[in-house]
């Protein structure tokens, strides 16, 4: 288990500075055009914009409730 902020403890690939899992071996690392972040749809531009709109709407609602008190 890798602790946050520490280096990987796997040995480096011969002639490289990194291990086979973090970029030492040929074709290692994330594939080109990696779409893993979009698997659940939370990181799409549309989802981010929707969250931003909802946050602004909730802030306006809270301000209105405070004014009505």
| Torsion sign (Cα): 23, 28, 34, 38 | negative
Q: What is the pLDDT of residue 30?
A: 65
Q: How confident is the model at residue 18 (pLDDT cuts 50, 70, 90)?
A: confident
The model's pLDDT over 22-60, given as tens digits with 9 standing for 90+, comes to 766 676 666 677 666 566 778 788 999 999 999 999 999
Query: pTM (2 decimals)?
Result: 0.46
Q: 22: exposed, middle or buried (C-beta count within 10 Å: 0-12, 13-18, 19+)?
A: middle
How do the domains of the chain map onto residue ranges?
40-68
Instruction: Report the distance separating Cα 13 and Cα 31, nearest Å.
Output: 19
């Amino acid at each position: 288990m890798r602790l946050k902020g520490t280096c990987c403890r796997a040995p480096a690939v011969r002639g490289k500075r990194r291990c086979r899992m973090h970029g030492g071996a040929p074709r290692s690392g994330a594939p080109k055009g990696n779409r893993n972040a979009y698997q659940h749809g939370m990181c799409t531009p549309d989802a981010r914009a929707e969250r931003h709109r909802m946050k602004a709407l909730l802030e306006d609602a809270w301000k209105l409730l405070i004014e009505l008190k």
